[in-house]
Chains A and B, each alone.
Chain A
Amino acid sequence: MDLLTAAKEAVKGAAEAGADSCDAMGMERRETVLKVRRGQLETSQESETRGVGVRAFRGGRTGISWTTDVSAEGLRRAGRQAAELASIAGEDPAAGLPDPAHRDGAAPIEGLDDPGFDAFDPVAGVDRARAAEAAAFAADPRVTNSEGSTFRAVRGTTAIAASDGFTGSSRRTFYALSLAVLAEEAGGVLQRDHWYTAANLLGGLEDPASVGREAARRCLRRLGWRKVETRKVPVVLSPEVAASFAEEVASACLGSALYRRASFLADSLGEAVASPLFTLVDDPLLPGGLASRPFDGEGARPARKEIFGKGVLRAFLFDSYSLRKLAAAAPEKAKGGTPGNAARGIGGSTSVATSNLFVEPGREKPEAVIAAVQDGFYVTETMGFGVNTVTGDYSKGAAGLWIRDGRLDYPVQEVTIAGDLRSMLRDVDAVGNDLVLRDEVSAPTIRVSRMTVSGR
């Protein structure tokens, strides 16, 4: 049975058991994972997996069920169970399928499904993993160990069928090569860093040797680290750290946080919260985007959204539930909002999530962003869970390089950077021109004029 037929079976089961509306999502995934360590194949993993999740609505009551039993009887049973579960839940006027107005018009997106997937030879994946690791070792004799170099090839299919007649099916491939290497410094202290490349099409992957050399470069620049005195200084976020910052800001802009008023931006729509240099976009329709999709997890039409435009908070991200909830609680904030950001796995309800999220590049070269700093911190890595998107409090473990007289000077570790997201947004005083869309979340180099670095 194909996946869409399977989803339809589950919908039938729910409808027969009394659901007045329902939808089902089937997911199928084929994955090969090959890990090489010190030149030798260490792990070889092959899998094919499928499952179906179904949501049933009954007068505003929601029941959800899922199964990996994809026989016709197993699917019907899951549908029936969802409908039965719905009778337990409370009546919630916001529950239900997306409005028909948000359904249609989904067009296929180019560059997501590699036609060569079936013909791909795993040996070629092992070769790429091996080549990346070999390049890291060859880059410098101080690279002495490897955590491993992993090649992944994945093909996933998603199919949605709903009782209002909506059907959608989309297939995508994903390839990734990643490795982590170690170097040892005086006193036996180990330093580790990693690098990776990921793309929907095999041809979109970067050259393995360059990925390996970059992992080595990142690891080696950590050698000879120091801890710095506690002080307030300008902080430059590397593209990777700026991407985490973008993700943290975006998570305060999700409809699920807004209707609960669980966001430091709950009352800020339309305000110039951030620096005019800051523009944040969520674009689920990017050709070849790692998080692109023709329809979202509940079959709503996705759209490009400018969350921040030149510093002004312009849009929130929604699934249909959170949009209806916010519209009921604070209609002025939901005005103009559309769903399209529903994420969904087989086992559970939908949640709101970003797709391809990125900060628009600025005009300055990253070197220039750094060169303007006399005494400051260039952050290459943050650690931990010290960001609270309800209060805006921000305090994370950090590692990077100290900036002295406009140049990267020495590595710094075992420190934190702290501030709050609202001040950080306001204090963005430079945005680099170095945006590369190499992951689901991307950003150029960003400078924040003042944060607390806590160390010695």
Chain B
Amino acid sequence: MPPSPEQPAPALDPVFPVDRTLLERLLAEAMSRGADFADLYFEHRAEAGLSMEEDLLREAVAGVVSGMGVRVLSGERTGYAYTEDLTPEAMARAARTAALVAAGAGAEASVNVSEGPVKDLYPVERPVEGMPLRDRVDFLRRASAAARARDPRVSRVMVTMRDEVKTVAVATSDGGLFRDRQPMLMFRVGVVAEEAGKGRTTAGDGGGGRVGLEYFARRTPEEIGGEAARRAVLALDAEAAPAGPMPVVLGPGYSGILLHEAVGHPLEADFNRKGLSRYSKQMGQVVASPLCTVVDDGTVASSRGSLNVDDEGNPTSPTVLIDRGVLVGYMQDRLSARLTGARATGNGRRQSYAHPPMPRMTNTYLPAGPHDPEEILRSVKRGVYAASFSGGQVDISKGDFVFSATEAYLIEDGAITKPLRGVTLVGNGPDVMGRVEMVGSDFRFSDGMWTCGKNGQSVPVGVGLPTVKISSITVGGTGG
């Protein structure tokens, strides 16, 4: 829609047909029933990808999705509506629909919007979208060839590369306007291995983040393909995991998924404000071993979970959740922060314009500790070493969580011995965090490949952990 003559202000962004005057009018419409707060979230998401299987480039895909969501807050109530039709009429209709949640008589609302600054956490040297799809095929071929070259037992290799550029604008009824451009690269290799008499196995590896093609200088396609193949072939010789409680050593990086499940979700402010979380009444109390400090930080440079500005216009920040074992903070969105008098921490996130925001993790990690990783391993007489994971789940109310290892080993007399299959670990958040006995000096973030689900919404996240020893956790195998 072209702006009308009395609205000479330039469009908000080449991708959104909206100027400041229209934004203000839509916000006023959203506030017209006497709401506490309203925001508009504009999103334009351009994706492109390639998938290769058996060295055949199976598909080239590309598409664009764009739309706008209106949220209205009134007390504890949220009204939400969205539309892909970005004409002033359709957007005004969405604003009026969302406004219905505030039962006020109807007030004249006026909003003055001015653009605020945002950080620059993910500068990209060589934008992926700048390279034609045709020219990207080589990255997939290299990964595929490396996986095959690794071992003759590799029977199938699948590689996908996908990039996304999300352009967003958030306008708020308190006058904020924030724009961001959020790139994302995803590269993934899946391998099936087969050996007569041993059956078949599968494994994968991947990476990426808010990065450009320079990513591949740090971690080559060959490395990722080779790693996926190594894991798949290793699994052919894996034995049944033991069953019962025993010491577990978590390898660095990937194991951060433990924190994500065990303490991350239950420390999201919405659950705590409503008394639904294991940690609802535990602020200031000891909830983990003194070796544990847990941080959620949306400002980690180029990380998959980072944001220059969260999805409701607040700056992201490092938020200490647990300080040397003591619960000190929750991850807040605007609604929970307002209702509890807390500071918004920049954790208000949403999957897309079709979803209202809620408190979500960004990059959740446990910083390095005092112990030498070798020493940690040597301290275990018999236990399990878990190196990589497929994912986990938590019951935030009781705090029980599980997570499943895709690469794990038996530890015997302080050394890694046999590879294990089917290792699921089950525990209770505060109980397991209290059993963290040693924390290694080898902190690292997992390469970018995690996606977190909550209430039907998926968002990209990061996790990180050094080598960590848990004195006892239940290992869910079948062996003795």
Determine the chain B residues whose CB is within 8 A of the CB of A393 once the complex forms: 421-422
Cα-based distance from A452 to B241 in the complex (angstroms): 11
Chain B interface residue count: which class? Answer: 35 or more
From B51-59, B218-226, B287-295, B300-308, the one touching the partner chain is B51-59
Interface centre among B64, B194, B397 (most CB of A within 10 A): B397
Determine the chain B residues whose CB is within 8 A of the CB of A227 once the complex forms: 474
Do A66 and B65 form a contact, CB below 8 Å, given A182-B397, A230-B244, A397-B476? yes
Whether the Cβ atoms of A68 and B66 lie closer than 8 Å is: yes
B392 within 8 A of A: yes
Do A62 and B47 form a contact, CB below 8 Å, given A147-B276, A386-B424? no
Do A390 and B59 form a contact, CB below 8 Å, given A43-B77, A44-B77, A454-B477? no
The 8 Å CB contact of A68, one of B65, B241, B401, B402, is B65
Whether the Cβ atoms of B278 and A190 lie closer than 8 Å is: yes
Whether the Cβ atoms of A85 and B60 lie closer than 8 Å is: yes
Determine the chain A residues whose CB is within 8 A of the CB of B241 once the complex forms: 395, 418
Cα-based distance from A35 to B67 in the complex (angstroms): 23
Determine the chain B residues whose CB is within 8 A of the CB of A438 once the complex forms: none
A46 within 8 A of B: yes
A415 within 8 A of B: yes
Cα-based distance from A97 to B59 in the complex (angstroms): 14
B322 within 8 A of A: no
B332 within 8 A of A: no
Whether the Cβ atoms of A456 and B245 lie closer than 8 Å is: yes
Nearest CB in chain B to that of A347: its residue:
B63
A339 within 8 A of B: no
Determine the chain A residues whose CB is within 8 A of the CB of B427 once the complex forms: 414
Do A349 and B61 form a contact, CB below 8 Å, given A386-B402, A397-B476, A418-B478? yes
Determine the chain B residues whose CB is within 8 A of the CB of A454 once the complex forms: 243-244, 426, 474-477
Q: How far is the CB of A271 from chain B (nearest CB, A)?
A: 15
Interface of B is mostly: strand
Whether the Cβ atoms of A90 and B397 lie closer than 8 Å is: no
Cα-based distance from A420 to B65 in the complex (angstroms): 42
Determine the chain B residues whose CB is within 8 A of the CB of A64 once the complex forms: 59-63
B110 within 8 A of A: no
Do A68 and B67 form a contact, CB below 8 Å, given A49-B84, A418-B424? yes
Interface residues of B in 452-480 (CB under 8 A from A): 474-478
Nearest CB in chain A to that of B64: its residue:
A67
A332 within 8 A of B: no
Whether the Cβ atoms of B402 and A384 lie closer than 8 Å is: yes
Determine the chain A residues whose CB is within 8 A of the CB of B67 once the complex forms: 49, 68
Determine the chain B residues whose CB is within 8 A of the CB of A416 once the complex forms: 243, 402, 424, 426, 474, 476
Whether the Cβ atoms of A383 and B393 lie closer than 8 Å is: yes
Interface centre among B194, B396, B426 (most CB of A within 10 A): B426
Determine the chain B residues whose CB is within 8 A of the CB of A192 once the complex forms: 276, 395-398
Whether the Cβ atoms of A85 and B62 lie closer than 8 Å is: yes
Do A397 and B402 form a contact, CB below 8 Å, given A44-B78, A261-B156, A383-B393? yes
Whether the Cβ atoms of A390 and B61 lie closer than 8 Å is: no
Nearest CB in chain A to that of B428: its residue:
A414
Whether the Cβ atoms of B243 and A418 lie closer than 8 Å is: yes
Cα-based distance from A213 to B368 in the complex (angstroms): 48
Whether the Cβ atoms of A388 and B78 lie closer than 8 Å is: no
Nearest CB in chain A to that of B47: its residue:
A347
Determine the chain A residues whose CB is within 8 A of the CB of B423 once the complex forms: 395
Nearest CB in chain B to that of A150: its residue:
B455
Determine the chain B residues whose CB is within 8 A of the CB of A346 once the complex forms: 63
A264 within 8 A of B: yes
Determine the chain A residues whose CB is within 8 A of the CB of B78 once the complex forms: 42-45
Interface centre among B63, B98, B280 (most CB of A within 10 A): B63
A48 within 8 A of B: yes
Q: How far is the CB of B274 from chain A (nearest CB, A)?
A: 7
Residues 85-99 of chain A, each 1 if its beta carbon lies under 8 Å from chain B, else 0 = 110111110010000
Interface residues of B in 150-192 (CB under 8 A from A): 155-156, 158, 192
The 8 Å CB contact of B400, one of A145, A347, A383, is A383
The 8 Å CB contact of B356, one of A43, A347, A395, is A43
Determine the chain B residues whose CB is within 8 A of the CB of A69 once the complex forms: 64, 66, 84
Interface residues of A in 48-64 (CB under 8 A from B): 48-51, 53, 62-64
Q: How far is the CB of A76 from chain B (nearest CB, A)?
A: 14
Cα-based distance from A189 to B279 in the complex (angstroms): 10
B416 within 8 A of A: no
Interface residues of A in 16-74 (CB under 8 A from B): 37, 40-51, 53, 62-70
Residues 57-96 of chain B, each 1 if its beta carbon lies under 8 Å from chain A, else 0 = 1111111111100000000111111111000000000000
Whether the Cβ atoms of A391 and B235 lie closer than 8 Å is: yes
B391 within 8 A of A: yes
The 8 Å CB contact of B421, one of A145, A348, A383, A391, is A391
A365 within 8 A of B: no
Nearest CB in chain A to that of B404: its residue:
A386
Determine the chain A residues whose CB is within 8 A of the CB of B98 once the complex forms: 46
A407 within 8 A of B: no
The 8 Å CB contact of A48, one of B60, B83, B474, is B83
Determine the chain A residues whose CB is within 8 A of the CB of B61 once the complex forms: 63-65, 85, 347-349
Whether the Cβ atoms of B101 and A65 lie closer than 8 Å is: no
Q: How far is the CB of B129 from chain A (nearest CB, A)?
A: 14
Determine the chain A residues whose CB is within 8 A of the CB of B199 once the complex forms: 264, 391
Cα-based distance from A399 to B402 in the complex (angstroms): 12
Q: How far is the CB of A360 from chain B (nearest CB, A)?
A: 28
A168 within 8 A of B: no
A262 within 8 A of B: yes
Whether the Cβ atoms of B424 and A397 lie closer than 8 Å is: yes
Cα-based distance from A58 to B244 in the complex (angstroms): 56
Determine the chain A residues whose CB is within 8 A of the CB of B79 once the complex forms: 43-45
B32 within 8 A of A: no
B97 within 8 A of A: yes
Whether the Cβ atoms of B393 and A418 lie closer than 8 Å is: no
Determine the chain A residues whose CB is within 8 A of the CB of B60 once the complex forms: 62-64, 85-86, 88-89
Cα-based distance from A263 to B356 in the complex (angstroms): 38
Cα-based distance from A395 to B422 in the complex (angstroms): 6
Cα-based distance from A454 to B59 in the complex (angstroms): 44
Cα-based distance from A191 to B398 in the complex (angstroms): 6
For the complex of A and B, 7 pairs with smallest distance between CB atoms: A416-B476, A397-B402, A66-B63, A393-B422, A384-B402, A386-B424, A192-B397
Residue contacts A-B, CB under 8 angstroms, 5 given: A43-B79, A192-B395, A383-B402, A397-B393, A419-B478
Identify 17 new A-B residue pairs, CB closer than 8 A, beyond the known A90-B58, A384-B402, A416-B426: A42-B78, A43-B356, A49-B354, A64-B60, A88-B133, A95-B58, A147-B276, A189-B278, A230-B244, A349-B59, A383-B400, A384-B393, A384-B403, A391-B201, A394-B422, A416-B476, A454-B475
Residues of B within 8 A of A (CB): 47, 50, 53, 56-67, 76-84, 97-98, 100-101, 133-134, 137, 155-156, 158, 192, 194, 199-202, 235, 241, 243-245, 274-278, 280-281, 354, 356, 390-393, 395-398, 400-404, 421-424, 426-428, 474-478
